[in-house]
Amino acid sequence: MANRKFLQDDDSRYLFPVYELKDKKNRLIYNVWGIIVAAGAIITSLPFLWMLLTAILPQGLIFAPVAKIASDFSVDLSSFKKAWELAPFGLYFFNSILVAGSVVAGQILISAMAAYSLSKLKPPMYQVIMALLLSTIMIPFETIAIPLYLFMRDFSIAGIFKLNLINTYWALILPGLANAFNIFIFKSFFDKLPNDFIEAARVDGYGETEIFFRIILPISRSIITVIAILNFVTIWNSFFWPLIVTNEPNIYTLMLGIYKIIEEGQPWNIVMAAVTISMVPTILGFIFFQKQIMRGVLFTTLQE
């Protein structure tokens, strides 16, 4: 195996042994797979390209036939300026960043701690606990939306402090903090971590909390990056829950802001310009952290 030459991607992962490509049948399979992957990429990016095209076209060309768009094509970036002026996008950005940032930070802390406990400390009945956590993934959010709304409306701490969290940031943040899927991902990662790290730290004199914060979290950077990016995008794009628990424009997130623009009957090039603006942070995130995301998804950080 060691002497075999492989086609490799940028991250040095073996895809296809070169010698197999000498075979005509294998070459055909390889090319067919290439075409399927390319087609998948094009189909996936079509809505995105459509959005960009709509945002930069003059209003009169948006619903014009393709031939007319091709012949009269011109770029009109004024829709971005109009969209930005139409609604307090600065505030929406702030709200979205605050909510998504808080949820992601809380999720990572809670999920990683829970997963560490389930993976390494193994409390009594940890397998039952894990099964219960995983079973919550099967429940669609729509079925718990109303109870959750009531829970936020009549929120109480130990039955003493009763608070109505509707129309507050808390209603947007708190329900997202616990995430069974993240716990599952973290646990899978921690299961592969050698116990030697933890035991060495115990012998060195560290307690479980210090081990978690000073050893486990730092060496889990890649998986944390993946979870952070994926969840940030999910929270950033979430629409249904913010729509239910907020009707106060001051705490609208970007998605609600865009919805408001659509409701106002603004032209589609302005709506699409607003959507494009809203996507900038997540696209930048992907561009900057692409390598970490790929490495984290493949769980390969500890392979040397």
- Residue of 223, 224, 256, 251 lying closest to 237 (CA atoms): 256
* Cβ at position 199, least distance to other proteins in Å: 5
**Closer of 54 and 222 to other proteins (Cβ):** 222
**Closer of 47 and 218 to other proteins (Cβ):** 218
* Cβ at position 210, least distance to other proteins in Å: 8
Altogether, the residues listed in the chain come to a count of 304
**Closer of 134 and 219 to other proteins (Cβ):** 219
* Cβ at position 231, least distance to other proteins in Å: 23
**Closer of 204 and 264 to other proteins (Cβ):** 204
Which residues contribute to the site for other proteins (CB under 8 A)? 194, 196-197, 199-206, 210, 215, 218-219, 221, 302, 304
* Cβ at position 222, least distance to other proteins in Å: 11
* Cβ at position 213, least distance to other proteins in Å: 12
**Closer of 6 and 197 to other proteins (Cβ):** 197
**17: three-class secondary structure by DSSP:** strand
Q: How far apart are CA 22 and CA 7, in angstroms?
A: 13
> Phi and psi of 55, rounded to 5°?
-65, -30
**Closer of 204 and 248 to other proteins (Cβ):** 204
* Cβ at position 265, least distance to other proteins in Å: 53
**Closer of 142 and 196 to other proteins (Cβ):** 196
* Cβ at position 204, least distance to other proteins in Å: 4
Q: How far apart are CA 180 and CA 203, in angstroms?
A: 32
**Closer of 138 and 203 to other proteins (Cβ):** 203
Q: How far apart are CA 31 and CA 33, in angstroms?
A: 5
Joined tokens for residue 36: 């399927």
* Cβ at position 219, least distance to other proteins in Å: 5
Which residue(s) pair with 163 in the sheet?
Answer: 155
